[in-house]
Amino acid sequence: MFPWACSYYNGVPMEISYNDTYAILQMNLDPIDITEVGRVLSAVRGIPLADGTRLARHAYGVVDEAVPLDEAEQIKERLEQMGVPVFLVQMSQFHPYPVPVTTRNADCLDSGFNVELPYGPQETVQYEDVILVSGGRLQWEETVTVVESADSMGIFSRSQSFGFRMDGQYGERSTVHRKRKKTRIDQFLFRILCRNPVRSFQISKDEFNYDYLGARKAMDTVSNLRLFLKDLVDRSPHVLLGQSVAAFLETDLRNVMKFSSMADFEEYNQWLFHWCYHVQDQNETR
């Protein structure tokens, strides 16, 4: 049950009014026809087709937000006719996914889930308060422009070069080279959502300490991360798993969701946060 999700955020009552506007969320993450969904959003909302298509392309479950009720109902009807089931969430209940705290060390102990905080002492979470584990694989390339001097002054933060002397005074132009360098981002990120109070912890495969595993510790980080998550899931009686977590635990890396930006990853976690309350939790109470 997530009764806190509709009225509290981080233990503080939410009193923001959105004048009866709604968020539109997919019932599942089955593939959608981005062009057709974009046409629906463009027609109903009166926005350019390019904007509607962009919303559909980066939806990851959250199709649109802050939509007036009459437009939200029209979009819902048209999408369902296309075979894209959705549900509506009033914006006054559409609370943001809690800002995650990145931890580099957490232990699954008999006494509870012990998390080392980056800004203070350790925190122990009861396993019954671990309610959602989500995650995915972030993959993209970044092109960075760097400026290097012939005298190895290092890398500058701006992409343009200036005429200057090595003593820092403007004047004679030194030999400066501008280079465009590609950096590949490829990492597994997982988030652990807890309650009482509501908070979230984030772990990265390559920036996490697995020493508590002891003799079970493997040579590779993927295996160690899987052991850690399995320990946590096995001890948490109320936990729900995102699709990527379930696939990762089954060693099915092909079905781990891939994200091309942090914004897409945030959107997915936001969708899953509300899906648990408005879909999964409601089904369990019937």
Q: CB of 91 within 8 A of CB of 21?
A: yes
- CA 34 to chain centroid: 21
| Confidence band, pLDDT 50/70/90 cuts, at residue 279 | confident
Instruction: Dump strand ranges (E) for 40-99.
Output: 62-68, 86-90
In this prediction, residues 68-96 reach a mean pLDDT of 94
Query: For the chain, where do the domains classified as CATH 3.30.1390.10 start and end?
Result: 19-93
172, pLDDT greater than 60: no
The hierarchical CATH code for the domain 19-93 is: 3.30.1390.10
Checking if the pLDDT of 50 tops 60, the result is yes
Mean pLDDT of the chain: 83
* 195 band by pLDDT with thresholds 50, 70 and 90: very high
Encoded tokens for 5:
């999700």
- Residue count (the chain): 286
pTM over 0.85: no
Establish how many alpha carbons lie within 13 A of residue 280's alpha carbon, considering only the half-sphere containing its beta carbon: 17
Tell me what pLDDT residue 12 has: 40
225-247 core/surface letters (b: 16 or more CB in 10 A; e: else): bbbbbebbbebbeebbbbbbbeb
pLDDT tops 90 at residue 145: no
Does pLDDT of 51 surpass 70?
A: yes
- Asked if the model's pLDDT at residue 138 lies above 80, the reply is yes
The yes-or-no verdict on residue 35 having pLDDT over 50 is yes
Pairing relationship of beta strands 199-204 and 240-241 according to DSSP bridges:
unpaired
Answer with the residue of higher pLDDT: 183 or 62: 62
Is the pLDDT assigned to residue 169 strictly greater than 90? no
The one-letter code for the residue type at 254 is: R
User: 91: pLDDT confidence band, cut at 50, 70 and 90?
Assistant: very high
pLDDT of 47 strictly over 60 = yes
pLDDT of 192 above 90: yes
Distance (Å, whole) CA 99 – CA 102: 10
pLDDT for 151 equals 54
Residue 214 CA: distances (Å) to CA of 114, 139, 222, 256, 264? 16, 31, 16, 27, 35
Q: List, in sequence order, every residue forming a beta bridge with 24; answer none if it has no partner.
A: 64, 88
Confidence of residue 276 (pLDDT cuts 50, 70, 90): confident
Torsion of CA 273, 278, 283, 286, to 10 degrees: 140
More confident residue, 215 or 144: 215
What's the CA angle centered on 187, arms 186 and 191, to 5 degrees?
150
Cα-based torsion angle of the residue sequence 63, 66, 70, 72 in order, rounded to the nearest 10 degrees: 10
Supply 103's token pair: 């931890």
- Quick one: average pLDDT of 193-217? 94
